[in-house]
Structure 1
Amino acid sequence: MDDAKSANVALVIETMYQVAANPDAWQQLIEALADAGDLQEMPSEAATDMARSLDVARLTARPEEGPVSSGRNDIGWIVLSSRRKALAANSLAHEMMDAGLGGLKLGAELAFEDPANGEALVRALNQSRAQPSGQTILRLDRGEDGPCFAYVAPARALPGVADAAAVELATDDQAFALIFPAVEETGRLWASIRESFGLTPAELRLARKLRDGRSLKEAADELEVSVNTLRNQLRAIFDKMGLKRQSDLIRALTQLSSVASAIEAQTPAMIPPASADAPPVVAITLRDGRRLAYRDYGDPDGRSVLFFHEGLGSSLLPPGAQGLARELNLRLICAERPGFGQSDPSPDYSFDSVADDMVELCDQLGLTDVRISAILSGAPSAMQTAIRLGKRAAGVLLCSGRPPRPVSEVRTRNALTLFRSRIENNPWVIETFYAILRLRLSAQLVDRIVRGSTANSPGDAAYFAQNAHIASYIATYVGESLARTSRGAADEVKAFRRARNLTVAELSCPLEVWHGEEDVFAPLADLLDYLGDKPREVRVFPGVGHLMALKHWDEVLRRAAA
């Protein structure tokens, strides 16, 4: 590999580290991938670094189940009642307290060797209750061993911690968690430091420089101020944070970073639960032993509709789907494609192999007259399934369909469109990216991504803003998609690139296309190029983009029942 290409690969890997520590940095990956060009295989020298980016993501990820101690060995935590009694703690917190801080006994008030630490804890708890974020930083003195720092945050903000003291928390909504760092990793904690210690913007800038390894002189040159000015700022930082040496400051900042990332990943709310009216996920066992999961909505004796979800989706359909399907005499089946949701991954994922699985699902369920509907990235799988079903397929309705084609150049391209096209050109990044996304997923992150995706569609932006429940639904939908693995999402993106010569020439049933006029995420021209002369009807909805199916969900089901 030449030097220029190696430099571009290094830039992508560096960006993956940023994404691993802070999922919002995924947009920076767009620019890095643009410089990388078109690189199909992972360079051998990149494999280790890509694996390390996953380690960073695991370090800063929320625990997938159980208390924090089972998911993170680098974080010590204590749950404190409103009266400062220890309700629960992990082994690392006991070690931290024993190492010069005091005693930790469950059911008793936290006891410090230095009474000043108890007073500092009271102040930190009061400050946390007054902070909008509910988080603050606590300085604790360990005598000759120097100070250490911990986060104070509402216990309910940390699901794993809250689970460990669920009974006590049920009657104490003022419980807080005291969270200790035990590793040195970088992260984003500057807002908490400013709020906790009252540092000025200039003092924060200096703290950043020192944490990043700059000397006072180097920091002065970069900030274009005198060394004496920075010395004065450093003294102010020491006074406000209760420190004496520059080395203590750097250690404190790097230690706190790991906890900052952990708390950021666990702030409420995480992925919301599915709506109460959604049927349970069930599954069949395929001939090769894999599990294929699905939800079965509506009337068991009604007209059969096989629904294909989005590329980061699950079998969870929009709220109200169960009741509306019953009203319309529909049996609405949404299967989770291999590697999505509760379905096992496929060893050889392709749109043809997905179609084979769906035909086997129809066989096992005894479906003989099947209507098919799909949204966005579910379109190619739906089309191949309709072809495989032959005369058993009564018709296909594609909503905002994404074809296996490169996205055409349009006047405006949003961040998701650019990201999708560039990650397809560099499939060596896909698996790691989706694995990081799965580790760092939160309702807030999904909300930000969806809002960003509506940037070029005023109709989508207005719809999303006016329907608060949609954000919760999409977060749950994406969360279910990645619940067990990210393999399905990664495998499908690769399948899109491999299938660029796929056609629908063998389709024999009627085909309808519904599309949003403002959809730049999946442009209609690309879809029609893929479908050729097969569509019997193309309906374009004004004032909406790729959220068309959500906005017109009732119409989608009524059309399937017509």
Structure 2
Amino acid sequence: MDRRTPLAEDATQPGRSLEPWLNESDALTAALRAGSRDFAEGLGGPTTAFALVRAERLGVAVVDRGGALLFANDAWRQAVAGADLDREAMAAVIANGGRRTVLIDHGPAMVGRSTAVFAAVGLARQWALPEEALSWMEDDRAAAVILVVGALSAAQVLADVCAAFGLTDLQTRVAIGLVRAGDVRGAAAEAGVSYQTARKVAFDAMRRVGAPRITGLIERLVRLSFGVWPQGEAGAAELTDVWGLSVRQASLALRIAEGASRAEAAAAAGMSEATAKKELEVVFQVMGVHSAAALARAVTEARALALITDATHDEAQLHNDLVEPLGLFQRPDGSQVAYSDYGPRSGRPVLILHSSSASRPAPSRLVAALQAQGFRPLSLDRPGFGLSDPHPDRARWRSDPFDAAVDDVKLLLAQLKLKRVDIIARGGAQVATAMAQTAPQIMGRVLLVNPDPASASHTRRRGPVGALQEAYMRHPDLIEGLVKLVASNLSSSQSRRIMLKAVESSPLDLAIFADPRNMADYRRGFRLFATGRISGYVAEQTAIHHWTCPPLSDVGHWRVLLSRHDFLHDPDRTYEVWRDILPQARFDWVEDGSRLMVMSHADLVARTLAEAADPP
């Protein structure tokens, strides 16, 4: 039998398939060290949200110290609709201050639950509430405020979407019919008008929305119904970022949530039922549900949670695994930066720096552990990562992407009106050192977790990740082509296999990925790479090979946690490199720690930051 080498000239070669990188990585690494560039054959060349729910959906009530109503608007009365409120939670807030978030179950007759927040009057005065409620809060008898948002049906949200575009009542009916039926004839039947009328109204709606085709109108309505403003291709990327869904999957989810059968949803989306079945399997997996009813409940509740979060400026501390919080702001040149603010606003702000192989979403256990220690976790997509545009000064960014990233950190602090922020680098330690050299005044406590040394200082490379890093170091001109190869294989079915293959030499990391929550968190971190947004990764992987840093002074308050079992780098070599850079910092070894320590030891990471000293 002809046994082919990993660099053979056929369809299995690394430039055309990821399989050799996964299954023959050691042989590839050896070939690369021998000077081979055969892997380049077949590589492609280089290339150059928010919640939308109308304010009147928010129900507000003001109560006195005995829990009696002083004021309640119509939306509150409709949302509560005779349901029993959590009197114990309300009494605790009245007695002790603070806030409590609860879900009100209306029984099987209603889809979804209402989200309620009880808060002391003093806390709620800064929230975005109706003027009438704010005036009642100044009453001497007022003790607490109750916010309620009922589960929002797909029809309600689609109506809100149409209102946001300024569509007339008839245009709204036809537009909703288009989403439900998928074509003008079906929309006419839904709206109760003739085909000719529906066709004319649909074209009027297209002009108002700015969609060149009927399919474009439907796509924009679907995106916005999931809280993502339609901005060309960026809109599709934001839908993936916030919900983990493609536009096609979101379209199916919306129709199923409205009660359509799988066959009806498939026909409206213009796909076969077999294709719809596969897409819905992904939707159910991403949304963490097992039935159409549960999907409808999850979608409607998530929209309600988004409105509560907006109204309370994130103070409600809602824990919803489905939606990654998304904030956007613009740089002075008009380009976009994306960030997440996990709250609460009363916490001590800490910026979590992501690694170059991930983007903004932070591990949920780390977020929870930091919040339990009194912190307010923040995260930021660095230039070219996730939903952040590349840095406007392209030459400077490509030369030193870590230094350029500090500009966005400064802008984030200005956006959030913060003077200083603590730092946790789960990767991204190079950005922390750049901040220390150019903007130390904005840094509070600093904790580096398994910081990466420069690639040239690696003394061991194992497995698929090691083979790719060897290729990056020896052939930096081919990094982008290699990244595209990997990104093209990041489908939901492939990503789990790739992740497990990458850590197969580390039993501790395999055990971490055995927890579905950790696996889901890790996948959230890199899923936007699959949409082709890879420029930040390319810039940082190119720069890391020649990165150096002089010894830093005034870092005696910095802390460094190093794992004894890091499959990617030699821990002793990592210690030597970073001890030279941070001669005054405190280093601690975690004997049972591995590469993914921020997941397995989230409480230790949060506690270490809480115990760290403030800068002098």
The TM-score with structure 2 as length reference comes to 0.51
Give the Cα separation in 2 of the matches to 1:494 and 1:282: 28
Q: Which amino acid aligns with 2:31?
A: D
Instruction: Provide structure 2 residue ranges, at least 5 long, that are not aligned to the other structure.
Output: 48-179, 184-244, 289-318, 612-616
**Per-residue displacement from partner, 1:47-97 (whole Å, max 9, x unpaired)?**
9x533899xxxxxxxxxxxxxxxxxxxxxxxxxxxxxxxx9999xxxxxxx
1:50 corresponds to which of 20, 43, 46:
43
**Residues 390, 535 of structure 2: 8 Å contact kept:** yes
Q: State yes or no: 1:293 paired with 2:307.
A: no
How big is the shift at 1:281? 1.3
Give the Cα separation in 2 of the matches to 1:551 and 1:524: 18
**Residues 272, 476 of structure 1: 8 Å contact kept:** no
**Structure 2 residue aligned with 1:276:** 320
Q: State yes or no: 1:374 paired with 2:425.
A: yes
**Structure 1 residue aligned with 2:385:** 340
**Per-residue displacement from partner, 1:495-514 (whole Å, max 9, x unpaired)?**
10131x33343564522111
Give the Cα separation in 1 of the matches to 2:586 and 2:492: 37
How big is the shift at 1:266? 6.8
* CA pair 351-440 structure 1, distance change in 2 beyond 3 A: same
Q: Which amino acid aligns with 2:543?
A: A
1:516 corresponds to which of 563, 573, 579:
563
How big is the shift at 1:413? 2.9
**Per-residue displacement from partner, 1:298-324 (whole Å, max 9, x unpaired)?**
222322212101222222122255555
Give the Cα separation in 2 of the matches to 1:291 and 1:374: 23
**Structure 2 residue aligned with 1:505:** 552
Q: Percent identity?
A: 21
Aligned to 1:283, what secondary structure does the other structure show?
Answer: strand
* CA pair 11-420 structure 1, distance change in 2 beyond 3 A: farther
Aligned to 2:594, what secondary structure does the other structure show?
Answer: coil
Aligned to 2:444, what secondary structure does the other structure show?
Answer: strand
Q: Which runs of 4+ in 1 moved over 6 A?
A: 7-10, 87-90, 174-178, 262-267
Q: Which moved more, 1:423-432 or 1:545-554?
A: 423-432
1:352 corresponds to which of 365, 388, 403:
403
**How many equivalent residue pairs?**
367
2:453 corresponds to which of 390, 403, 421:
403
Give the Cα separation in 1 of the matches to 2:10 and 2:277: 24
Q: Which amino acid aligns with 2:409?
A: M
Q: Which amino acid aligns with 1:388?
A: T
Q: Which amino acid aligns with 2:361?
A: L
Q: Which amino acid aligns with 1:487?
A: S
**Structure 2 residue aligned with 1:385:** 435
* CA pair 341-477 structure 1, distance change in 2 beyond 3 A: same
2:518 corresponds to which of 453, 462, 470:
470
How big is the shift at 1:544? 3.1
**Structure 1 residue aligned with 2:481:** 432
Give the Cα separation in 2 of the matches to 1:459 and 1:301: 36
How big is the shift at 1:354? 1.6
Q: Which moved more, 1:519-528 or 1:161-170?
A: 161-170
**Structure 2 residue aligned with 1:495:** 543
How big is the shift at 1:327? 3.7
**Structure 1 residue aligned with 2:57:** none
**Per-residue displacement from partner, 1:82-113 (whole Å, max 9, x unpaired)?**
xxxxx9999xxxxxxxxxxxxxxxxxxxxxxx
How big is the shift at 1:373? 0.8
* CA pair 330-483 structure 1, distance change in 2 beyond 3 A: farther
* CA pair 320-544 structure 1, distance change in 2 beyond 3 A: closer
Give the Cα separation in 2 of the matches to 1:506 and 1:263: 59
**Per-residue displacement from partner, 1:201-234 (whole Å, max 9, x unpaired)?**
xxxxxxxxxxxxxxxxxxxxxxxxxxxxxxxxxx
Give the Cα separation in 2 of the matches to 1:416 and 1:366: 39
**Structure 2 residue aligned with 1:82:** none
Equivalences for 1:80-119 in 2 at 5 Å? none
Give the Cα separation in 2 of the matches to 1:371 and 1:355: 14
* CA pair 357-503 structure 1, distance change in 2 beyond 3 A: farther
Q: Which amino acid aligns with 1:35?
A: A
Give the Cα separation in 2 of the matches to 1:392 and 1:162: 40
How big is the shift at 1:550? 0.6
2:572 corresponds to which of 514, 525, 530:
525
**Structure 1 residue aligned with 2:494:** 445
How big is the shift at 1:162? 8.9
**Residues 396, 512 of structure 1: 8 Å contact kept:** yes
How big is the shift at 1:337? 0.8
How big is the shift at 1:362? 2.7
Aligned to 2:572, what secondary structure does the other structure show?
Answer: helix
Q: State yes or no: 1:318 paired with 2:363.
A: yes
**Structure 2 residue aligned with 1:544:** 593
How big is the shift at 1:363? 4.0
Q: Which amino acid aligns with 1:406?
A: A
Give the Cα separation in 2 of the matches to 1:299 and 1:162: 29
* CA pair 268-30 structure 1, distance change in 2 beyond 3 A: farther
2:465 corresponds to which of 416, 419, 425:
416
* CA pair 367-432 structure 1, distance change in 2 beyond 3 A: same
**Structure 2 residue aligned with 1:243:** none
**Structure 2 residue aligned with 1:331:** 376
Q: Which moved more, 1:429-438 or 1:330-339?
A: 429-438
Give the Cα separation in 1 of the matches to 2:502 and 2:486: 17
* CA pair 557-12 structure 1, distance change in 2 beyond 3 A: farther
How big is the shift at 1:543? 2.7
**Per-residue displacement from partner, 1:369-393 (whole Å, max 9, x unpaired)?**
32111113x1111221233222432
How big is the shift at 1:282? 0.9
**Structure 2 residue aligned with 1:96:** none
Give the Cα separation in 2 of the matches to 1:433 and 1:561: 40
Aligned to 1:351, what secondary structure does the other structure show?
Answer: helix
Give the Cα separation in 2 of the matches to 1:483 and 1:299: 31
Task: Supply the RMSD in Å over aligned alpha carbons.
Answer: 4.3
Give the Cα separation in 2 of the matches to 1:164 and 1:317: 28
Give the Cα separation in 1 of the matches to 2:541 and 2:264: 44
Give the Cα separation in 2 of the matches to 1:17 and 1:405: 22
Q: State yes or no: 1:362 paired with 2:413.
A: yes
**Per-residue displacement from partner, 1:419-474 (whole Å, max 9, x unpaired)?**
22332221222112222333331233332232223333222222322x12211221
Aligned to 1:340, what secondary structure does the other structure show?
Answer: coil
**Per-residue displacement from partner, 1:316-364 (whole Å, max 9, x unpaired)?**
1222555554443322211111111110023223221122332343344
The TM-score with structure 1 as length reference comes to 0.55
**Residues 400, 522 of structure 1: 8 Å contact kept:** no
* CA pair 435-442 structure 1, distance change in 2 beyond 3 A: same
Give the Cα separation in 2 of the matches to 1:540 and 1:417: 23
Q: Which moved more, 1:22-31 or 1:415-424?
A: 22-31
**Structure 1 residue aligned with 2:109:** none
Instruction: Provide structure 1 residue ranges, at least 5 long, that are not aligned to the other structure.
Output: 1-6, 55-86, 91-156, 179-258
* CA pair 541-167 structure 1, distance change in 2 beyond 3 A: same
Aligned to 1:560, what secondary structure does the other structure show?
Answer: helix
**Residues 255, 265 of structure 2: 8 Å contact kept:** no
* CA pair 26-479 structure 1, distance change in 2 beyond 3 A: same
Aligned to 1:516, what secondary structure does the other structure show?
Answer: strand
How big is the shift at 1:290? 2.8
Q: State yes or no: 1:307 paired with 2:355.
A: no
Q: Which amino acid aligns with 2:286?
A: P
